[in-house]
Amino acid sequence: MNSSSSAVVGVSGGSDAHRVFVYGSLLADDVVRVLLNRVPQSSSGILDGYHRFSIKGRVYPAILPVQNKQVTGKVLFGITDLELDILDTFEDVEYERTTVDVSLMDGSHKLRAHTYVWGNQNDPNLFGEWDFEV
């Protein structure tokens, strides 16, 4: 696929391989390794139309749809059905797994991926912008 293509590639790359856009604690390879017993191939990506908030009293962020905002993160490739179940459990009931279009940082194309969106759009504990480095 060339860089001028605007095609969107599907969520799964095979019968049991998924892509997941991560933007918080799962950016750390050590966290992913503990959960999945491996570090999957990944690529930097941008999720348009979302904002990454800090959550009062928590070390991890939440994302919600916000016009004209974007979230940087990375796409994990080759996630199995079992690993997706593990990530669902890790993200807990406060997040909803959603399918989104992610642009790869290399500009090659957009692809469909799962991500975890904060379930409570009116949560008073959300504020500012979360930074992985902090």
CA 44 to chain centre: 10
Contact 19, 111 (CB under 8 A): yes
Angstrom distance (rounded) from CA 9 to CA 11: 7
Pure H helices in 2-131: 29-36, 81-91
Name residues whose C-beta falls within 8 Å of residue 124's C-beta, 6 or more positions apart in sequence: none
End-to-end CA distance of the chain: 37
Active site residues: 91
For helices 81-91 and 29-36, give the axis angle rounded to 10 degrees. 120
